[in-house]
Amino acid sequence: MDAQVLSKRTMAEQVADLLRQRILSGALPAGTPIRQEPLAAELGISRIPLREALKQLEAEGFVTIASHKGATVAPLSVAEIEELFQLRLRLETWMLGLALPRLAEADFAALDQLIAEQRAPDSLPRWGELNWRFHEVMYRPADRPLTLKMLKRIHDNIDRYLRLEISLSAGRNRAYREHEDLLAHCRKGDVAVALDLLERHIQQTANSLIDHLRARETAVAAD
């Protein structure tokens, strides 16, 4: 039996999950104001649990709350996105270095499976989730749960911007190839090469996203 399913979840928790999904999926893009009364009415609840959900999402970096003014979907500046990628670089190379010697055959099999799922034709809406799970499986043996939680938060915040760019499929195919390459070298236990590939993978992702965002920025400014 799954305890999560059985345990009565609170309204605030369910609402937080729902809104998080809407933000990650792009249904609520950055900057969207969140009015409490209409949203609570739509969800059929009062504003109290909604406010608690918003506080939770604020802590996760998805929402900005200004006293007496309300909540909006948090925008990330290009500088902040760059910083998040730099954090990923530092933390993930550390984690992979710790985890690599402890990766077992079951982990490699799971990673193969995830790459296959990512390549499936209808996987696009689950791209962010599958991408994170790939990285998570690699880092979990490092046995650093707080760091892993931090990394998930960083990934999620990046992903809602990456989504725009990854739908173009060119970057997506590159990411899959890099995952395969990285996995192959992890299997061989080639630590130095694996860390180098991971570093480049993160760098590449950062560069293509930031180029894309800068292009959009100037396009918007030219309007």
Question: What are the residues binding a copy of itself (CB under 8 A)?
Answer: 7-10, 13, 48, 51-52, 55-56, 58-60, 67-68, 80, 83-84, 86-87, 90-91, 94, 144-147, 150
Position 11 contacts DNA (CB under 7 A): yes
R_g of the chain, CA atoms, integer Å: 19
The one-letter code for the residue type at 135 is: H
Chain Cα centroid distance, residue 189: 27
Smallest gap, in angstroms, from Cβ of residue 29 to a copy of itself? 21
Encoded one letter per residue, x for contact with DNA by CB under 7 A and - for no contact, window 16-35 reads: -----------------xxx
Smallest gap, in angstroms, from Cβ of residue 65 to DNA? 7
Position 68 contacts DNA (CB under 7 A): yes
Of 222, 62, 64, nearest in space to 156 by CA: 62
Judged by CB under 7 A, the chain residues 163 through 222 that form the site for DNA are: none
In the list a copy of itself, DNA, none, the entry touching 87 (Cβ below 5 to 8 angstroms by class) is: a copy of itself
For DNA, the closer of residues 48 and 116 by Cβ is 48
Cα–Cα distance measured from residue 85 to residue 110, given in angstroms and rounded to the nearest whole number = 25
In the list a copy of itself, DNA, none, the entry touching 70 (Cβ below 5 to 8 angstroms by class) is: DNA
Smallest gap, in angstroms, from Cβ of residue 53 to a copy of itself? 9
Of 104, 100, 158, nearest in space to 131 by CA: 158
- Give the end-to-end CA distance of the chain in Å, rounded to a whole number: 56
- Give alpha helix (H) positions in the chain: 3-6, 11-24, 36-43, 47-59, 78-99, 105-119, 127-139, 145-166, 170-187, 191-221
Residue numbers of the site for DNA (CB under 7 A)?
7-8, 10-12, 33-37, 44-49, 51-52, 65, 67-71
